[in-house]
Amino acid sequence: MRGFHKKLFLVLLSGSLSSVAAQEVWTLDRCIEHAKSNNLEIQRGVNALELSELQELQSKLAFLPTANINGGYYWNFGLTIDPITNTRQPGSRQTLSTTAQGNWNLLSGGRNVYQLQQARMSTAASLYRLEEIKNNVFLNIASAYLQILVNAQLYDVAQGQLNTSTQSLERTKLLFDNGAISKDDYLQSVAQMRGDQGNLTSANNALVLSKLQLFQLLQLDTPFEEFEIAPPATLEALSLKGYGNEELKEAAVQKQPSVRAAAATQKSAEYAIKVAQAGRLPSLNFMAQLNSNYVQGLPYFSEYYTLTTYNLIENPTTGVVEQVPQQVTVPDPASMKDYTITNQLSDNWNQFLGFGVQIPIFNGGATHAAVQRAKIQENNAALDVKQSELQVRQTIERAYLDAQNSLALYQAALASSSAANEALDNAQLNFDQGVISAFDLGLSKNQFLAAKSREIQSKFDYLFKVKVLEFYLFNQITL
């Protein structure tokens, strides 16, 4: 009987793995790859990164000139000002005005340069925050995945115990029917078998719930009944040798996405100070403008002729009024045509070029307040960097200590499970020889089941703690 329960457990485990392999299964790598493209938190992180990239693109385009075209068609009634002659004219008319203008910022105290650098740092911070979101999601998936493996092995242990209890009950019933044991011993075997059935049901419920947790984390659309995971080929205990190295820990702190995101945010805040300080410096702009107008009903003459008119002017010396001739060019009424909108817009073009300078002198302290706010925000960002580094360092130290404690618990549980297995083998032998009762055999089985459960749980707890530590030290999750 020595080693019987261990062999039975391995047979059951191999059978369960064969049934899983017969259908489509989810490995840890597949779970992580699925989460990369389907997890909602990751998708929101991707959107945040895209917004930062758009802001960076806009900061690049700020170096280019701006250009706009404006225009309008208007109906005027009553006494209005003719936009062509600039005189007051009674009546109604329709007018059109159009303007094309451009503006190019040539000097602004380096504002555009600093805004571009700030946008680049914000994009880097968004990228690191996305990596942090991914890491947290992947860690939760790995935790749920390992919990399924724990509950699967606990289920196999419970199934093995039920099979053993069933076989023991068959022998006990045979002995009871032949009058070899008392009814109390027989009923005790029945109670043990029923208890093992309850344990198997509880183990199955825990396994289903742990699968549901991972299924919901993955946000799958397929039926839950079809969801199965693929256990890794080996899950051997890992060594912690070298994981407590201070240099390794400090390097891991600086590589963490949360720390990098905080550092990039601080750098962005530093450029924000320079952007605010640029408001104290002069700005220089180049401007260009092109205008034209149209007035409905304005006459157009293709031919002109010259008239001589005389003005009566008194000679200040002699006092004699003299006729002074004057040449006047007037349109020929016979050549009048409609002044079309195309001809008016072509004839009325007006161009404008110029430079504009703005020198800030006093704006109610707005620039000073903006600079001070930016400095305070930069100081907060620097504190965030220190806080992030402290949190990661403490997390790594706690993860290392947890892994050490879990290793000690696993070693103790392994020794206890081995002793309980030997005790059960010995109890089974004594029961078969009639030395002990079914009640005593049941106690040994329960003790073995509890010890084996502690061994499995402590093993996977230790494995998970090591994986968490490796996650922070090397920024990766593998089984």
Per-residue pLDDT of the chain (479 residues; tens, 9 = 90+): 344 344 434 433 444 444 444 457 899 889 999 999 999 999 999 999 999 999 999 999 999 999 999 999 988 787 777 665 677 777 777 888 999 999 999 998 899 999 999 999 999 999 999 999 998 899 899 889 988 988 888 898 889 888 888 888 888 888 788 887 788 878 888 888 898 899 899 999 999 999 999 999 998 988 898 899 887 755 555 667 777 788 888 888 888 999 999 999 999 999 999 999 999 999 999 999 999 988 887 777 778 888 888 777 777 777 777 777 888 888 878 788 778 888 888 888 899 999 999 999 988 899 999 999 999 999 999 999 999 999 989 988 888 888 888 888 888 988 998 998 898 889 888 877 777 776 777 788 778 878 888 888 888 888 888 888 888 888 776 66
| Of 172, 89, 234, nearest in space to 440 by CA | 172
What are the start-end ranges of the E strands in 2-92? 66-76, 80-81, 88-89
CA distances from 386 to 252, 373, 399 (A): 15, 20, 20
Decide: helix, strand or coil at residue 357: strand
Rg (CA), the chain: 45
Q: CA–CA separation, 180 vs 188, rounded Å?
A: 15
* pLDDT value at residue 369: 95
Q: What is the DSSP-derived secondary structure letter of residue 335?
A: G
* pLDDT value at residue 381: 95
* pLDDT value at residue 238: 62
| Of 216, 206, 254, 168, nearest in space to 438 by CA | 168
Burial status of residue 342 (CB atoms within 10 A of its CB: 0-12, 13-18, 19 or more):
exposed
Burial status of residue 230 (CB atoms within 10 A of its CB: 0-12, 13-18, 19 or more):
middle
Q: CA–CA separation, 267 vs 397, rounded Å?
A: 28
* pLDDT value at residue 451: 86
| Of 348, 449, 473, nearest in space to 400 by CA | 473
CATH code, residues 1-38+118-281+364-479: 1.20.1600.10
Q: Classify residue 244 as left (phi > 0), alpha (psi -120 to 50) or beta.
A: alpha
